[in-house]
Amino acid sequence: MHKIFYPDSVAVIGVSEQPDNLAANIIYNMLEFGYSGHIHAVGLRSGVAHGIPILTSVDCLPDGVDLAVILTPAVTVPALMEACGRKGIRRAVIESGGFAEFSEAGRRLEEQVSQAARRWDMRFVGPNCISVVNMENGLCLPFPRLDRRAAKRGPVSVLAQSGGVSITYLLMLSEVGLGVNKVVSIGNKADLDEVDYLKYFLDDPGTEIICLYLESIEEGRRLIELAASSPKPVIVHKANTAQASAQIAFSHTAALANDDRIVSAALRQANVARAASFDDAMALAQGFALPPVRGGDLIVVSRSGGHAVIAADVVEARGFRLTPIPDDFLAEVRTMFRADVIALANPLDLGVIFDFDLYGQIVEECLRALHPDALLLVHTFSTGPESEMSRRLARRVRELSQTLGNTMALCAFAQREDVESLKPEAGPMVFTEIEAAVRALAASRDRHRRSARLLPLPSAPAQRPHEVEAVLAHAGVLTTDLALGLCGIFDIPSAEWAVVEDVESARVAASMIGYPVALKVLSPDVLHKSDVGGVVLGIEGAEALQAEWAALLARVEQRVPGARIGGVLVQQMLAGGCEVILGGKRDPSFGPVVMFGLGGVYVEVFEDVAFRLAPLTREDAEEMIAEVRGSRLLRGVRGEPPLDVEAVTAALMALSRLLAECPEVMEVDVNPLLVFEHGVAAVDARVIVRGQKT
């Protein structure tokens, strides 16, 4: 991978002297960005492009070229890869489109490209991408011409599943004063994919912050595990969340849609910040470029009372606390004032002070005396002398941040060029919207308050309890006794039950369990036992049991003639309790996933559910429960006693272990799990095991 970003020599293939030749733009860009290695050009006809002679064949290249950049029609690419391989080139960037994203024929071409690469042990970027930029060595391979002045070298590396978006990130990160280190547009990721690039960026010394734009995540689990292990801040901008965009994303880079709720949950577990838009990604990147915000105490200093009011709204919405300002501090600040017409508080409204040097002094006082976790300076100024004073203030604020180690954001409202002129002074501290500034500080706070806590999947499932094997010998939808039994093995309690074969045993079982009881038919041929009359609830005594037993078997035989009956479950009927639902499934990209919600209408009407990747830590399970709004019902509302949330937490963690340790289990639902003041009990469970039968 290193040679893709740091090649000593590059051959651009597809170059001509035509003024609209795109491959020639790649040469232009490398010259413009001052690429330090050798540049070669290959094309159909000989000639010269930007001073570089065009060779008419890959074979004419000197030996030892590190990287080929291919931008020719798709049909020519497999042969060119072959030629590069023969020539000893081991790295390629394929910018051409017309592959799997376009048609079935394109998909076959892409397969041929991959075969050629495998044959020659080559690794490649793309196809269908805009490619690679490295600001450290001037490697600049995009085919649209770029302006060196619009690209700033900085700490952020970008991985984008869209060429256009990769360029937007390059420009925007430069514009906000942060700058980029490396950019790669990954295209169809036929060979190298997001996991490979992320791994590289994690090790790359030039990369301090990583920003991923993704439209599909195929190796979700690996990506998330990698991100969770990252000491560098990772930002993910995941698009393709809507029904409508699924189609364009597919034709665009052959992407499939993910379940967005699972994506969000996984990113949360990996302590990765999710960007909702370009602007949001900029705010996050700026936030991560500042010294970490280690707590929730914030001071707002503002020149305008109105801006202070807006800031206070936003600060509260983002969960910060405005540090109370002690009276003696205010008394001291007042002595610096030219006029005494503003009531002092936090936000500190400095509207009556016209000497901005005093602002710096007050900010310093605030930091030294009050030790906030962050300080937001909202500044507004006019052009001319105020602008010059404001640049001095920006410089002062940056110096204070450096010497005192405090986190500060400077949100500036002024004419655009005056705001721009602050960026060279205070770099990524400068914001142009209060929301963005507070978002940045909040993202930093959240990142440092939490930590990634993704438990690894057990690699050897053999450690699981041996009783599991007998249950998982069955495939398809398990009967209720097996499903509840599997839950029981993993310590998810259920309402007491027994399997019986005849009515006599049923009566014995019921009397041991205690009435009322329920009867549930067990049959591999009955998928939905309620639907065929296979469930009777609330049987109050032995006489009723006798009658219901016969009626139940008759109904099942009538509705599913010849159904094999594996017995009947006699189960204790529990009174009271609050219904919750635990669920689990295997996501094709992210692997085992756990779901939690309240039973009844809450899941359906309020879509009030939480997801996490399994296995869960205790913190995850607690967070899932807290995330579901309706779970306040578990904590006791309207004077009712609080229920056993601890037991729910344990059951969730148990279910997550079940999924993690039993890769054969495709789906599991415990619905409902009843929650009591003391303990929980599963009343019904459904488990699907991988296999032929369904």
250-309 residues near its own copies, rule: CB under 8 A: 251-253, 277-279, 302-309
**Beta carbon of residue 148, minimum distance to its own copies (angstroms, whole number):** 10
User: Which residue of 16, 131, 161, 589 would you call a contact of its own copies, by CB under 8 A?
Assistant: 161
Peptide bond into 588 cis (omega under 30): no
Residue 397 tokens, joined = 């604020």
DSSP 149: G
Binding of its own copies by 354 (CB under 8 A): yes
Residue type, 225: E
Determine which residue in the list 351, 461, 516, 524 makes contact with its own copies, applying CB under 8 A.
Answer: 351
Taking the C-alpha atoms of residue 37 and residue 4, their distance in angstroms, rounded to an integer, is 13
- 479 contacts its own copies (rule: CB under 8 A): no
The reply to whether 239 sits near its own copies by the rule CB under 8 A is yes
* Closest approach of its own copies to the CB of residue 347, in Å: 5
> Is 189 a residue that touches its own copies (CB under 8 A)?
no
Going residue by residue from 359 to 398, which x/- string records binding to its own copies, judged by CB under 8 A?
---------------------xxxxx-x------------
Hey, which residues between 20 and 49 contact its own copies (CB under 8 A)? Answer: 20, 22
Residue list 416-475, contact with its own copies (CB under 8 A): 416, 433-435
Interhelix angle for 77-86 vs 104-119, to 10°? 0
Q: Report in angstroms how near the CB of residue 519 gets to its own copies at its nearest.
A: 23
- Residue 68: helix, strand or coil by DSSP? strand
- Find the part of the chain contacting its own copies (CB under 8 A) among 84-92, 241-249, 262-270, 441-449: 241-249
We find the least distance from the C-beta atom of residue 67 to its own copies, in angstroms, to be 23
**Residues 166-172: contacts with CB within 8 Å, 24+ apart?**
166/130, 166/133, 166/142, 166/213, 167/130, 167/142, 168/278, 169/211, 169/213, 169/278, 169/281, 170/133, 170/146, 172/278, 172/281, 172/282
> What are the distances in angstroms from CA 60 to CA 3, 37, 46, 52, 141?
21, 19, 11, 14, 21
Which residues within the stretch 558-617 sit at the binding site for its own copies (CB under 8 A)? Answer: 601, 604-606, 608
In whole angstroms, how close is the CB of 3 to its own copies at the nearest point? 27
Give the strand pairing for 665-675 and 680-682.
antiparallel
Q: For residues 72 and 571, which CB has a smaller minimum distance to its own copies in the complex?
A: 72
Which helix (H) or strand (E) element contains residue 298? strand 297-302
Instruction: Number of residues interacting with its own copies: please give it, by CB under 8 A.
Output: 92
Considering only 31, 60, 336, 345, the residue that binds its own copies (CB under 8 A) is 345
Q: Which is nearer to its own copies, 416 or 678 (CB)?
A: 416
Is residue 407 within 8 A of residue 401, CB to CB? The reply is yes
Select from 76, 114, 168, 511 the one that contacts its own copies (CB under 8 A). 168
Q: Taking the complex as a whole, how short is the minimal distance between the CB of residue 369 and its own copies, in angstroms?
A: 20
According to DSSP, residue 615 is labeled S
Residue from the set 7, 43, 85, 97 that interacts with its own copies by CB under 8 A: 97
In one-letter notation, the amino acid at residue 462 is A
How far is C-alpha 123 from the chain's CA centre? 27
Applying CB under 8 A, does 164 fall inside the site for its own copies?
A: yes
Cβ-Cβ contacts under 8 Å for 665 (sequence gap 6 or more): 472, 486, 584, 586, 658, 659, 687, 688, 689, 690
- Enter the DSSP assignment of 457: P
Q: Does 104 bind its own copies (CB under 8 A)?
A: no
DSSP per-residue string spanning 322-388: E----HHHHHHHHHT-S---S---SSEE-TT---HHHHHHHHHHHHHHH--SEEEEEEE--STHHHH
Examine residue 137 and tell whether it contacts its own copies (CB under 8 A).
Answer: no
Q: How far is the CB of 142 from its own copies (least distance, A)?
A: 9
Per CB under 8 A, the list member of 9, 50, 153, 175 interacting with its own copies is 175
CA distance 575 to 586: 33
**680 vs 643: CA distance, rounded Å:** 9
From candidates 104, 561, 637, 678, binder to its own copies by CB under 8 A: 637
Confirm or reject binding of residue 213 to its own copies (CB under 8 A): yes
Q: How far is the CB of 100 from its own copies (least distance, A)?
A: 11
Residue 347 interacts with its own copies (CB under 8 A): yes or no: yes
